[in-house]
Structure 1
């Protein structure tokens, strides 16, 4: 309801102003001012989908980040191989018995393996990079393509072992090792290593039938 002022002057001896108020029906509001109390804002379907996708993406990123930060140390790096799943990299495994085991491509990098027993083990492609193998037993072991780079291979039993294609570059030392019947075919030895091994080489590998001295290219 709107209030309308109606003022008029009368022709009497004492002029006065008379104010009168009357109520009439309100003038309809323009369309842009009208409101519908039952009308509510409805979100756009595209906007809703966009918000859901944004929340889902943020949640996924948060979960992935948390999994990387709080992953258990034992699961962060297994250090094993396709056959041996135990953690063997950077470990003290002195005196451990691996005899006869299949440990293809096993990772023993930087581990301490003093007096460890690998007799008859299948160690194709295994890595002993920078490992301490002092006094370990590799007799009759399959060491084809194994990596002994920078490893300490002193006083190791390599009798009748097959080291075909093994990697022994760097400061690898075989001082005091038993290489009777070992097969060194295609092993890239330094000249000083070759000369030392040729002085102690003897025997024939029972698996390959190759003489140790021949595989070392001794004179």
Structure 2
């Protein structure tokens, strides 16, 4: 639609001036336009859609659950408060731990064949379901250690202190050397106790207890 604008200007003089504007554009002239600053719309606010909310909640739930259901092999960072190397579920055959302080060290399910623990401090250490075949535990401090389900065959336990150690399940000491070992308060199965009494001798140099006495042999 064409817009025609006629404006007449007059002055005190007799001269008349006629000012005419004409345009075929629908755009209003500059003096009729509104201030852009007054009509500027505020930036749209960001809102979180329902789908995004659900996705975020799901992600948080998965991250939280991962803290509780991490695979044990990944969650395990150290072997214990004194020995920081990873010793759980490892093949440590022939490794030398002699004389080391490994209190409450975790050796669960590890293979420890012919490993050397001579004189090591292993109070409260866990050998749960570990294979200690042929290992040297002589002179070791094994008080309250856990040997549940462990294979302790042909192990050198000479002068070792096993006071209060946990021995249950299929723990076997067949072929082990127990001269001077202290088995005070070790809950042995009757068949294991009878077997150990047939090979028991010596006195523990640390506790002064005779091996046969600690095994309640007749």
Distance 1:35 1:186, change over 3 A: farther
TM-score (norm 1): 0.71
Gapped regions of structure 1 (runs ≥ 5): none
Q: Which moved more, 1:35-44 or 1:203-212?
A: 35-44
Shift of 1:76: 3.2
CA–CA distance in structure 2, aligned partners of residues 82 and 144 of structure 1: 17
CA–CA distance in structure 2, aligned partners of residues 170 and 183 of structure 1: 20
- 8 Å contact kept, 1:97–1:118: yes
TM-score (norm 2): 0.71
- 8 Å contact kept, 1:181–1:205: yes
Distance 1:41 1:70, change over 3 A: farther
| SS of residue paired to 2:27 | coil
Distance 1:161 1:15, change over 3 A: closer
- 8 Å contact kept, 1:79–1:108: no
Number of matched residues? 218
Q: Which moved more, 1:49-58 or 1:2-11?
A: 2-11
Q: Deviations over 1:171-195 (max 9, x none)?
A: 0000000000000011001111110
- 8 Å contact kept, 2:9–2:19: no
Residue in 2 that maps onto 1:68: 67
Q: Deviations over 1:26-51 (max 9, x none)?
A: 999x9999998534789899999999
- 8 Å contact kept, 2:3–2:25: no
Q: Deviations over 1:39-64 (max 9, x none)?
A: 47898999999999999998994995
CA–CA distance in structure 2, aligned partners of residues 170 and 185 of structure 1: 19
Q: Which moved more, 1:140-149 or 1:13-22?
A: 13-22
- 8 Å contact kept, 2:114–2:133: yes
Shift of 1:68: 6.6
Distance 1:81 1:213, change over 3 A: same
CA–CA distance in structure 2, aligned partners of residues 13 and 99 of structure 1: 122
RMSD, aligned CA: 9.0
